[in-house]
Amino acid sequence: MSEQRVGSTVLGYPRIGPNRELKRAVEGYWAGRVDEGELSRVARRLRLDTWRGLAAAGLDSVPSNTFSYYDHVLDTTALLGALPARFTDLDLSTLDTYFAAARGVPHAPALEMTKWFDTNYHYLVPELGPDTTFTLAERKPLDEYREAKAAGVETRPVLLGPVTYLLLAKPAPGASAGFRPLDLLDAVLPVYAELLGALAEAGADWVQLDEPAFAADRTPAELAELERAYATLGGRRDRPRLLVAGYLGALGDALGVLARSPVEALALDLVSDPAAVDQVAGTAAAKDNALKGKEVVAGVVDGRNVWRTDVDAALATLARLRDTAAPEISVGVGTSCSLLHVPYDVSAETGLDERLRGWLSFAEQKVAEVVLLGRALRAGAGAVAGELATARAATRDRASAGQLRDPRVRDRLAALRPEDATRTDHARRVAAQRASLDLPLLPTTTIGSFPQTAEVRRLRAAHRASRVDATEYRAAMRAEIERVIRLQEDLGLDVLVHGEPERNDMVQYFAEQLTGFATTEHGWVQSYGTRCVRPPILYGDVSRPAPMTVEWATFAQSLTDRPVKGMLTGPVTMLAWSFVRDDQPLADTARQVALAVRDEVHDLEAAGIRVIQVDEPALREGLPLRRERHAEYLGWAVAAFRLTTAGVADGTQVHTHMCYAEFGDILPAVESIDVDVISVEAARSRMEVLGDLAESGFSRAVGPGVHDIHSPRVPDVEEITELLRTALEVVSADRLWVNPDCGLKTRGYAEVEPALRNLVAAARALRPTV
Ligand code: GLN
Ligand code: ZN
């Protein structure tokens, strides 16, 4: 019998394995330690465990095709037969062709990688040109559907929707200027139709098509293409029922377009867009109720954060939806987006404070929440009163917990005055810093980290596991810092760094030392491919009980006469790469973190550190998907940054670093954070970024990277000189710094030493000529 409703479901699930089994198997395969058979056995086991787990938990509808060896966008490109010829011409097996596109091989550089909307997941960008043809080249969604069915689980295959797929693509190199990948819609729709037909034939009742691109601003033409796509796909007879999922933000006008289209169900992200309830109600009230006969899967369980759902709030939302929409629109319960963005299981976190653990919900717990809410919706709250009471108690406990609110932090914030976020005039600072630092023209420096050798990593791990005591660890770290200082002196760099050997990660290192943050043991989330991160959990008011970096920085400074740059992570990046509290505005949390960083800045300065860098590589990625919300975001982000650094003396030089070359919408913010020096990525784009900066009126010193640290290649003196000459066409010599693109921690000394030597030589040779 075929299922008429989706009911309760999740839009997607983590796939790396509860213990990162997939990461180990895939990396083992790349290293030649694991053969293809073994790799596919590991993958199959993970898929089966996921399906069985979701079915056993009581979901009405279980998703499939959420597994991926590397990335679901790359899977889609392979499925559609649209991998660029530079990979398919390699004559490799299907799997190796796929990995070649993901990672590159000599002479066939990998597909570009970029962020999946405003999350920290990264996907591989399809490269499509006017000549791209699409065919159903693979059968992964079908195979997984059948695999699940054979294991006794009926599933709903999940596909990346055709319009979002094309909107995520970029024109292939050589495509004509006017070409947009979306021009290929007519070419791709028949393949989707064919696939839907095959899935129907295999027995699939439902297929989910993800269209998150419509949570961002879209043109009327793009909305028209969405309409056409679903009119075409929905208009076919030999197809499963279609659930179209929009998530990560408000669908806006796309909601109406999809409502009018011949699909059976829509999944809405009511966590990021609570107002969608009103939109649905409005549609239902209209005479020609476009949603009539459809199902709305209400995404009330947050798929991208780790807090337990407030069941009463969720039930109220569901009740409102049902009361305004029923009986013509049926209501299901879901997650706001895929659970890809959260770790597997809270109960694995035995090291967490027990009370905090009670407030958290990872993927497994979120599934249970969806099931619970689904039952409450169907059978009434009374039927699940006990479970609701437990959930309610946790929410209440969190709301009342003393450790969330620190009156000292709140009082400090309340007492802030505008001048606390304002430095003196920039020209005055330039003069003061000339006197305090006495740097040559075109000063040379690095972005902070030096190569993290196996020995450094081993030491940190041993210290963490208490195999190395504090004294021994400190001595070893000091030895490393001394080595790095001597090397920089030998290389002739002007502003030195301590090299960051003590840091596992630029956010986690600070999170571990601040109150209000917790870190997990197993809370891994896929960042891209086999790379996983463990975002800290920011749960309460933030303060800094003790200095975090001063000891290392002052030790480094004690070894040398040259200025050593103190190195901190800024508040916006701390938030962007953590799970943040949802019980107060982000702006308030940012100001708390800013005050903690400000304390560190103050202590560094008091300890004699004259140059302080506050890294904000995530400033741009936090930009909301909708333009109408940019100003609000940039307002609090800039204010938080300024709060960290505005307390220093004129002679203290403030740097920031951002890891990208395209500033676009955040250019105005780059000036208003009011730093003295900014370093940015520029080597790959051959200094293009400087033109944008200059045009925006950026008036501070800038260090455009002259060494692409993402590549093992060592740039020679000539090449660096060339880049600097290009830079000098736009930036005056008294404002230009010379540095690599980013931190050096992922590189080896064999590349870093000669690269930095060439960098210093180029700067020195150029000085007398400018
Ligand atoms: N200071 C950090 C480093 O050098 C900056 C890292 C980053 O920009 N992501 O590693
Ligand atoms: Zn960087």
DSSP string across 660-690: -S--GGGHHHHHHT--SEEEE--TTTTTHHH
* Residue 1 scores a pLDDT above 50: no
ipTM, 2 decimals? Answer: 0.99
Question: What is the 8-class DSSP label of residue 377?
Answer: H
Mean pLDDT of 607-616: 98
Mean pLDDT to the nearest integer, 80-86: 97
Tell me if 254 sits within 8 A of 245, measured CB to CB: no
Torsion of CA 366, 372, 378, 379, to 10 degrees: 180
User: What letter represents residue 331's amino acid?
Assistant: V
447 lines ligand 1 (CB under 6 A): yes
Closest Cα to atom 3 of ligand 1: 743
139-179: per-residue pLDDT in tens?
A: 999 999 999 999 999 999 999 999 999 999 999 999 999 99
Mean pLDDT confidence for 123-140: 97
Residues 6+ apart with CB under 8 A from 577: 120, 507, 533, 535, 536, 618
Is residue 745 in contact with ligand 1, taking CB distance under 6 Å? yes
Please indicate whether residue 659, judged by its CB atom, sits closer than 6 Å to ligand 1. yes
Put residue 492 in one of left, alpha, beta given phi > 0 → left and psi -120 to 50 → alpha: left
* 160 CA distance to ligand 1 middle (Å): 33
Number of neighbours of residue 477 by Cβ within 10 angstroms:
21
Top pLDDT among 52 and 174 is at 52
Tell whether ligand 1 has an atom less than 6 A from the beta carbon of residue 14.
Answer: no
pLDDT band, residue 662 (cuts 50/70/90): confident
For residue 286, give the 3-state DSSP assignment: coil
Say how far apart CA 442 and CA 732 lie, in whole Å. 10
Beta strand spans in 195-347 (E): 206-210, 241-245, 265-269, 295-301, 330-335
> Does position 123 have pLDDT exceeding 50, yes or no?
yes
b vs e for 608-638, b when ≥16 Cβ sit within 10 Å of the residue's Cβ?
ebbbbbbbbbbbbbbbbbeeeeeeebbebbb
pLDDT the model gives residue 405: 93
Give me 466's structure tokens: 């208490």
User: What six digits make up the tokens of 666?
Assistant: 């955040």
Could you report the per-residue pLDDT of 276-302, keeping only the tens digit for each? 999 999 999 998 999 999 999 999 999
Q: Over the stretch 211-234, which tens digit does the pLDDT of each residue have?
A: 999 999 999 999 999 999 999 999
Give the DSSP per-residue string, 514-571.
SEEEE--SS--EEEETTEEE---EEEEEEE-SS-SSHHHHHHHHHT-SSPBEEEEE-H
Q: How far is the CA of 504 from the centre of ligand 2 (A)?
A: 15
pLDDT of residue 2: 54
Tens digit of pLDDT for each residue in 328-360? Answer: 999 999 999 999 999 999 999 999 999 999 999
Q: What digits encode the pLDDT tens for the residues 417-429?
A: 999 999 999 999 9
CA quadruple 329, 333, 336, 341: dihedral sign: negative
CA of 705 to the centre of ligand 1 (A): 13
| Confidence (pLDDT) at 685 | 84
pLDDT tens across 438-496, in order? 999 999 999 999 999 999 999 999 999 999 999 999 999 999 999 999 999 999 999 99
pLDDT at 524 over 60: yes
pLDDT beyond 90 at 638: yes
Distance separating alpha carbons of residues 288 and 556, to the nearest angstrom? 72
